[in-house]
Chains A and B, each alone.
Chain A
Amino acid sequence: MKEADEKPVHRRQFIKAGLHTTAALAIGGLAGMALSKSAPANLVWQIDPDKCIQCERCATNCVLNPSAVKCVHKYAMCGYCDLCGGYHRPGTKNLDTAAESQQCPTGAINRTFIEEPYFQYTIDEKLCIGCGKCVKGCGSFGNGSLFLQVRHDRCVNCNECAIAKSCPADAFVRVPANKPYLFRGGVAGAEPPNPLSGEAS
């Protein structure tokens, strides 16, 4: 009786059902991949440059020494000035590269003459300790093209970031790992500013 109730499955139906299942699996897989691409796998720490007040705690409170926080330079915003508020100590008499003329305590900013009247300023990240003195100077007297960022080639992404805990301005925020850099005006980027193109990538 039981065998009589069951309809036989024809070969064509079997192949059709198999193709449907394969197509559904393929579509589902693609959708899953797309979702996995669009949704961040995790979050990482970053400094919102619009909130940062350059309190210098980034230099001392990171679990790494030197800190994973570095100064970055968005060249498209820079005025390339001879007198640079980020490079020169306030009140310095000579606009040169002497140690006593520089704002940076570790000499991490390189100044290079480009052409009259422009100078280019680049950050030596090996020397930068993330104190933010240059960022404060650039913000006070210049265009604000220098700002602090957590460099994710160094950051160990602690669950409880020691700097975020002590940040007085709540400038440390969680951002998607696939766009871990924040520029002024709330713009996010996958990479820090690119010195060659002068633009955030």
Chain B
Amino acid sequence: MNYKLFIKIIPIVFILLAAGFAGFWFFYDPTARFSESVPGMDNRPERSGGLLSTVKIGEFFQRFNGVAAQLRGSWPRFRGSNFDNFSNETANMNWAGGAPKILWSVELGEGHAAPAIHKGRVYVLDYDEANHADALRCFSLLTGEEIWRRWYNNPMKRNHGLSRTIPAVTDKYVITIGPQCHVMCVDADSGSFRWGIDLVQQYNAQVPLWYTGQCPLIDDSLAIIATGGDALMIAVSCKTGRVVWSTPNPGNWQMSHSSVIPVTFHNKKMYIYCSIGGIAGISAAGEDVGQIIWQSTAWSHNVIAPSPVFMEDGRIFVTAGYGAGAMLLQLREENNVWSAEVITKTLPKDGLSSEQQTPILYKGHLFCVLPKDAGPLRNQFVCCNPQDITKYVWTSDKTNRFGLGPFIFVDNKFFILSDEGELTVIEASIKGYKQLARAKVLEGPDAWGPIAVADSRMLLRDSKRMVCIEI
């Protein structure tokens, strides 16, 4: 009897178990505890402007005891007179004890803003941390004594430094762009304020990550500024502050850290600019002045610091950090129709790229320091024939690594500054890496501001100090 009952119960138990399993199978949700990663989980608010709603650009002025030096040399803007980072100065390198003579040094606010030099004066758009102010400081190139300071309150929080642009200088004017997109024009001699534009307020410009890096351009008495936002680029009369032309920005491209580079190709003068959104050529003269004559969205990254390098045959080398790598474009013109086609592109581990500094074009070759994500060649100074940007003519080898610091061509030599303020001088050659000298000139860290050279003097900076050395 019990046996028969047992025989009957077994199938029932199995059926119940199967039903339970089937129920579990159908109704159990293994993803119930999953959560989606969607935008907005960081509680980021709408982007706001600076900490002050209205900045009175150029509000304050202070005069000091310094006197302009009677010197004639000029390094009037980012990458020098010809935008090539070449200096025609002589570098005798008579360095006693193997190190250059430090002529003077001054303390600066934390940042990477670098100087421009014009006729015995040094101009730096510093950040005055005590007064929470952008301060255009004018020094004597001879002594380093401050001559005057034009400044305005602009409270900010440090974000990998505070300042990071280079003024543009002519005989008459100095144009600056502050860390939070405040453009200022002052008289080059007296420091008298002429005009100012808040690009965030007036053009809905977005302050780039880690603040503005674009260095302004003065071209034929016009200040050329890439605004992003309501316009892609504007030209402002240095004399009056009137906006002479403004380039439409239908793609809503934004300001990058890259600077505007003027070039002439097929007798057409244009401004080339790498924005956050794409690269464009804007007519610089003629009936279509201020209009986009070609553009490409093939080169678009979140952070673009180096400026485009233009080659005589119309090739444009563009590069950026944060994994972006580089791209080579070919600019063409047929019957006044312009185009920019991608020739090749590469990732940092596979070819030439630069994170922060613009490569130098010398004897048809590109020279720069590779970024940290370039694999075994990381941080090496390299020479590359742009016919093939995935191959190197030579590299500085693993015993000679640099960083995000600047490099410049002077008197057939490259001067390369490391993050920690070590200055290395090598022979400018496409044959190989030949070191001529190496000396510590700054304490570091973050000696990233571009180098300026005039009147046999070289200006370099780290995060807190600028020095003038004799070359």
Instruction: Give me the interface of A with B, judged by CB distance under 8 Å.
Output: 79, 81-83, 85, 90-99, 101-102, 107, 111-113, 115-119, 139-141
- Contact A102–B157 (Cβ < 8 Å): no
Task: Return the contact of A141 from the options B37, B41, B157, B321 (Cβ within 8 A).
Answer: B321
Judge whether B42 and A113 touch: CB under 8 Å: yes
Given A96-B40, A102-B37, A111-B41, A90 and B159 touching (CB < 8 A)? no
Q: Given the known inter-chain contacts A79-B159, A139-B372, please indicate yes or no for A90 contacting B324, CB distance below 8 A.
A: yes
- Given A81-B209, A113-B45, do A94 and B372 touch, yes or no (CB 8 Å)? no
8 Å CB contact of B157 from A81, A94, A112, A117: A117
Q: Is the CB of A116 within 8 A of B302?
A: no
B: number of interface residues (CB 8 Å)? 28
Q: Could you tell me the distance in whole angstroms from the C-beta of A140 to the nearest C-beta in chain B?
A: 4
Which positions 1-58 of chain B face chain A at CB distance < 8 Å?
Answer: 36-45, 48
- Knowing A92-B302, A141-B373 are in contact, say whether A97-B159 is a contact too (CB < 8 A): no
Per-residue contact bits, chain B 345-371, to A (CB 8 Å; 1 contact, 0 not):
000000000010000000000000001
Cβ A81 vs Cβ B42 within 8 A: no
- Partner pick for A113 among B37, B44, B210, B302, CB 8 A cutoff: B44
Known contacts A91-B322, A95-B302, A99-B37, A140 near B371 by CB under 8 Å:
yes
Alpha-carbon separation in the docked complex, A158 to B436 (Å): 52
Quick one: given A83-B322, A99-B36, A102-B37, are A93 and B210 in contact (CB under 8 Å)? no
Residues of B whose CB lies within 8 Å of any CB of A are: 36-45, 48, 157, 159-160, 209-210, 300-303, 321-324, 355, 371-373
15 interchain pairs (CB within 8 A)?
A: A83-B322, A90-B323, A92-B302, A93-B302, A94-B39, A95-B302, A96-B44, A97-B40, A97-B41, A98-B37, A111-B41, A117-B159, A117-B210, A141-B321, A141-B372
In whole Å, how far is B401's beta carbon from the nearest beta carbon of chain A? Answer: 14
Q: Chain A: interface secondary structure?
A: loop
- From A96, A99, A141, contact of B322 by CB (8 A): A141
A198 to B371, CA, bound (A): 28
Write out the residue numbers on chain A whose beta carbons fall within 8 Å of the beta carbon of B323. Answer: 90-91, 140-141
Min CB distance, A134 to chain B, in Å? 14
Q: How far is the CA of A139 from the CA of B374 in the complex (A)?
A: 12
Residue ID in chain B nearest A139 by CB atoms: B372
**In the complex, what distance in Å separates the CA atom of A90 from the CA atom of B209?**
15
Please determine whether A140 and B42 come into contact, CB atoms closer than 8 angstroms.
no
**Contact residues of B: prevailing secondary structure:** loop
A83-B303 contact, Cβ under 8 Å, with A98-B39, A112-B42, A141-B321: yes
Residue on A nearest B45 in the bound complex, by CB: A113
Q: Is the CB of A119 within 8 A of B157?
A: no
- Chain A residue numbers with a CB within 8 Å of B160 are 79, 81
**Ranked 5 nearest A-B pairs via Cβ:** A90-B323, A96-B39, A97-B41, A99-B37, A140-B373
Inter-chain CA distance A82–B303, complex, in Å, is 12
B48 / chain A contacts, CB cutoff of 8 Å:
116
- B304 CB to closest chain A CB (Å) equals 12
Q: Say whether, besides A83-B209, A97-B41, A113-B45, A140 and B301 are in contact (CB < 8 Å).
A: no
Check B324 against A97 for contact (C-beta < 8 Å).
no
Residue of A101, A118, A140 with most partner-chain B CB within 10 A? A140
Q: Known contacts A90-B322, A112-B43, A117-B157: does B38 contact A98 (CB below 8 Å)?
A: yes
List the B residue with the shortest CB-CB distance to A121: B42
For A85, A93, A97, the residue with the greatest tally of chain B CB atoms inside 10 Å of its CB is: A97
Q: What's the minimum C-beta distance from A108 to chain B, rounded to whole angstroms?
A: 11
Q: In the complex, which of the residues A85, A90, A119 contacts B42, with contact meaning CB atoms closer than 8 Å?
A: A119
Complex alpha-carbon distance, A92 and B355, angstroms? 16
Residues of chain A within 8 A of B301, CB atoms compared: 91
- Point out the residues of chain B lying under 8 angstroms from A79, CB to CB: 159-160
Complex CA gap A97/B38 in Å reads 6
| Chain B, Cβ-Cβ closest to A85 | B322
Contacts A91-B322, A119-B42, A141-B323 known; 8 new A-B pairs at CB < 8 A: A81-B159, A90-B324, A93-B300, A93-B302, A97-B42, A117-B210, A140-B371, A141-B355
Min C-beta distance of B119 to chain A, whole Å = 37
CB pair B210–A81 under 8 Å, yes or no, is yes
Using Cβ atoms and an 8 Å threshold, which residues of chain B touch A83? Answer: 209, 302-303, 322
CB nearest neighbor in A for B372: A140
**Nearest CB to that of B303 among chain A residues?**
A83
Least CB separation from A80: chain B residue: B159
